[in-house]
Structures are given as structure tokens and as C-alpha cells.
Chains A and B, each alone.
Chain A
Amino acid sequence: MAISSAAPATARVKRPASAPDRGSKLFASWWWAIPALVVSILVHYVAVAVGGTFAFTNWKGIGAFQFVGFDNFAKIFSGDLGRGAILNTLFLAFGFLIGTNVFGLLLALALNRGVKLRYFLRVVIFMPTVLSPLAVSYIWRFIYQPQGPLNSFLGSVGLESWQRTWLADPVSSIWTILIVMVWQSTGLVMVIYLAGLAGVPQELEEAAAIDGANVFQRFRHVVFPLIRPSFVIASTLMLIQGLRVFDQVMALTGGGPFNATETLATQVYKQTFAYGQFGYGAALSLVLTVLIIVISLIQMGLTSGRERKS
């Protein structure tokens, strides 16, 4: 029974890749989707298009403006700050994607069954997720302070040479942001994987174990194919969230020291609102959008490509 219930599950996951069957059209009417389409088109497409027009102007965020063609875009790609922001954004996004998925999956596997305190630990590990990113950053600022707990801990275990001014160190500051991001979102990724693991029949794993498969083989060939939907969701969500990283950077380093942790999103914010260069900021945000679309397409291509192979 166990194995028979699992086999169709895998088959079903693959079904969308096959040709659609005609009968299914009967089940849904098109107009049901209209409210969702209308509200998202109005809020996203129409309003963003209106705002995006300013990318081709020299508008200062208030008052009159002129159209300046592609000047703002030329400025982005010619400046160091624009390039640095792109690199930092990519570093944080991929570090975040990898960090949350590795730790989230490990925790999910470890807490899936067996451990007595598992329900309690699942809640506790999820707790950082419910805090607002701004509150999280304030707490961590205390931890990273020059005389804060992190440096005192390093001192007490004899690692004085590791002590530094974490949030203003040109090299380590971007890592401090990454750690906070991963700390906050690992619990969420864990839950997504736990949900996936709950659908993996234990009997299937046991059968593989009897056949002599070790832990890694069992994960690779039995468990992972079954939790692929969780993997797709977790990786897509984390990638998009990582590429838009803003709150943590603003609250922890403000983009410093000396622009070392500036990201596209913080630059967009600073240019459009703080420096009164709305046109330039709008152009920057369009660049950010294109970057996210390209990376997401690559990511989707990779995940679906692997799906076909397996």
C-alpha cells in the first residue's frame, strides 16, 4: 500500500510537463481569474509603468522635469557605484539562497522524525521569521557592536585576532548582513521542506535502506525527487527576496562602510527619495527588475531542466 500510494504521487508531480488534456477545461471558467488579474495589473503594471516613465526624465521627485532619453541608464553603467551595487546584490542573493536552503533542508531532515523535542524545536527555529526585518536588524546591531557579545565571545575563547568592528569593516560587513538574512529566513525554508518531507512515505525510505542504500543515496534517489516542489518554491522565494534585499542593509550598515555594502535596492531608495534624483533611481530600479527577470529565468530553466533529466 505504501509504495503504491507513493508512485502515483511522483507521476502527478510530473504531469504538467506532459500535454494538457482537453477535458480539464470543463472544470474552470475564465472569468474566475478576473479579480486577481485586474487588481495585480492595476497595482503592478499600470502604476509601475506610470512611475517607470520617469526613468527617462531628470525629475527630482517634485516639480517640473524634462525628458532626457537614456542618459540615466548610461550613468548607471559608467559609474563604480552602480557596478559595486550589482555585485553586492548578486553576492547577497546567492549567499542567501544557498545558506537558507542548506541550513533549512538540514534542519528539516533532522527534525522530520525521531527527535523527541521536534515540535518544540520547529516552533523555536521558526521564531526569527515572524520578526520584522527592521526589528531583527536592531537586535543584531547590539550583537555586532565593537564591545558587543560577539567580540566578547571571541575574546573569551581566545580568538582575539578575529575581533573586529563588524559593521564597519570593509571585508566582513557584507557577511554580517548575510548572516542576519540567513538567520531570519532559515526557519521559513525549514517549514517548506518539512511540508515536503511529510509527503515522503517512510516505507519507501525503509525499502531503500533494506536494499542497502546509505543515508546520502537514500536522500539523493528517494527523498529529493519527492520534495522537488518544495525545492522549487524555496529557491525561487529566497532568490527573489535576496535580490531585493533592503531593510537589513539599511538598518545594519546603511550601505557602508564607504559604500561597501550598497545594493541595487538601497541605491534605488537613496537616489529616488533621499537625494531627490527620482529619474536616476527609476532607471536603476528598471535595471534591477531586468536583472531579477534574467536570473529567475535561468533559475527556472535549471530547475526544470534537471526535472526532465530525472
Chain B
Amino acid sequence: MFNRYTPATLVREVVLVLVTVVILFPFYLLVVMALKDTKESVVSSPVALPSSPTLENFATVLSGEGRNNVLSGLMNSVIITVGSVVMLIVFGSIAAYVISRRPGRLGGAAYVSFVVGIILPFQLAIIPVYVALRVLGLLGTHIGMIILYTGLLMPLTVFLYTGFARALPRDYEEAAAIDGASKISIFLRIVFPLLSPATGTVAILTGLIVWNDFFNALIFLSGSKSTTLPVMVYSFVGENVTAWNLVFTVVIISMIPILAFYLFAQKKFIQGFAGGMKG
């Protein structure tokens, strides 16, 4: 009965489209600015359409050299983000599973230590972590950044996973145990797939944080060849003059991969969640 397309649904559809147009307005500014040449971007109103739209900015930005090489920035961002998210999923899901299946004081303490970790002020840890990474020879490397982000976001990851893991039924695990499956294969074959909606949430949330992180990337990657996109954007922000057309071009480029990932993943995660709930 809810699947019929009634006049009320049409009204809802129209209202939603209008709301979406309002939500999209800032993107209009983003795109319009990226299509203007440098002089026009300075002189014209930000709302005005470009007089002669040009893709030159994309060419300029993509052909940058050395530290301004957006393609290598894109690669660095992808490597660091994917690496961190994979580590978080692997170690976070299993830790949350342990916590959910071994309640009691120890499990409770471990859980609380993760939750409090979400809140601790990382600003205070910057200098100690910087020194530690340098001593280990990992400063300015992809691996160093992946370790940093894994540690930084592990508490959030475990928090997200634990909520889901606690709600998972144990019937399948019990059945598999009776059939003689090992602990690790129970986790890999049965539990982890059931956790897929949480994996989706973790991947999107932590992926976004790492992908867009400016502050840590700046401090920990300054002077290295591993600069990520959010820091690279700043090579177009000057003391007195900012090339907004180029800045926004880089912003658009850095949006594309993560939006594509979301597009690819959204149905899966939502379905996955439904599957998880229905058992």
C-alpha cells in the first residue's frame, strides 16, 4: 500500500527537489568559479556565470609539477586513505567483536578506554607523536601517516562496530561451532559479513575524515613528497592573492573519488544493513 505513486507522493517529490536545489546552491558557486579564468575569477561576481567557460584550470592544476602535482597528491591521498581505512576495518572489527562477545569487567574497561579515546584532545599529542614517528624513521611516509590515522580513528571505529556487533544474533556462531568451525573462520565467514553495514559506516566516516584532513597532514607531511590534496590546495592560497578558480578546481577534483566510492557503496550498505537486521 505504500508503494503506490499517489498525488501526495508527487507533492513530496516536488518539495524534495526544491530542497535539493537549495542545498546544491553552494556547489553552483564552486563549479562556476572553477570554470572562470584567473582574471575573471578576481573581477566578476561569484554568482555570475563565466563569460567564456574554460577547462583550462583543470589542465593547469593537473599539469602542476613537484609539490604542486595534483595527480601525485591524489595518489598520496588515495594510498593514505585506503591504507588507513583497511587497517581500521581489520583491527577495529575484530576488537569490537571480542568486546561484544566477552562482556564483563575487562571487556567493559576496554570499551570505555576506546570511547574515552574518541574525546581526548589530540592537539596535545602532536609534538610527542611527531618525535616518535621521526625516531622510527616514519615521518613523512605513507606508512607513518597510516599508523597515525589508524591510532587516531581506532576509538571511533571500535565504538561504531561494537554497537552493531552487540546486536548480532549468536545463533549462527553457535551452529558453526557445533559443526566444528574454528574461531577465526567463524569470525571471517559469518560475523564479518554480518557486520557489513557497520563496515560501510566506518569506511565512509573514517574515509572522509582522513581524506579531508588538513591539519595533521600539514604538520606531519610538511617537507615530504607525500603531501595530500587538502594541503596542496593551499599552494594556491597566497598571503595577498588567492587563485580561487584553482582552489575550487582542486576541491572538485578531490570530491570526485570519494563521491564515486559513495555512489558505488550506498546501495550495498543500505541493503547490507537491512540484511543484518533481518538476520
Contacts and interface: CB of A to CB of B under 8 A. Distances in A.
Contacts of B164: 229
28 contacts: A16-B103, A24-B102, A25-B101, A28-B101, A33-B94, A33-B99, A36-B91, A37-B110, A39-B91, A39-B150, A40-B117, A47-B128, A47-B129, A50-B124, A51-B128, A117-B16, A122-B266, A130-B211, A130-B255, A198-B270, A199-B278, A236-B159, A268-B121, A268-B123, A282-B124, A286-B121, A289-B119, A296-B115
A25 B255 CA distance: 44
Contacts of A13: 167
B160 A125 contact: no
B115 to A, nearest CB: 8
Interface in B247-263: 247-248, 251, 254-255, 258-259, 262-263
B75 interface: no
Contacts, number: 285
Contacts of B128: 46-47, 50-51
Interface in A49-68: 50-52, 54
Interface string B164-207: 10111110011001000001001100010000010011001100
Q: Chain B interface secondary structure, helix, strand, loop or mixed?
A: helix
Interface string A240-279: 1000000100000000000000000000110010000000
Interface in B96-117: 97-104, 106, 110, 113-117
Interface string B136-172: 0000000000011011101101111001101111100
A contact face: mostly helix, strand, loop, or mixed = helix
Nearest to B276: A199
Interface stretch (A77-85, A163-171, A202-210): A202-210
A285 interface: yes
Interface in A79-120: 107, 110-111, 113-117, 119
Contacts of B104: 20
Interface of A: 5, 8-9, 12-13, 15-16, 20-21, 23-30, 32-33, 35-37, 39-48, 50-52, 54, 107, 110-111, 113-117, 119, 121-136, 138-140, 142-143, 145, 147-149, 152, 183, 186, 188, 191-192, 194-196, 198-199, 201-202, 205-206, 209, 229, 232-233, 236-237, 240, 247, 268-269, 272, 281-282, 285-286, 288-289, 292-293, 296
A48 B124 contact: yes
A203 to B, nearest CB: 10
Interface string B78-96: 0000000000000110110
The 7 closest A-B pairs by CB, nearest first: A51-B124, A43-B151, A199-B277, A47-B125, A132-B212, A36-B95, A285-B121
Contacts of B92: 36
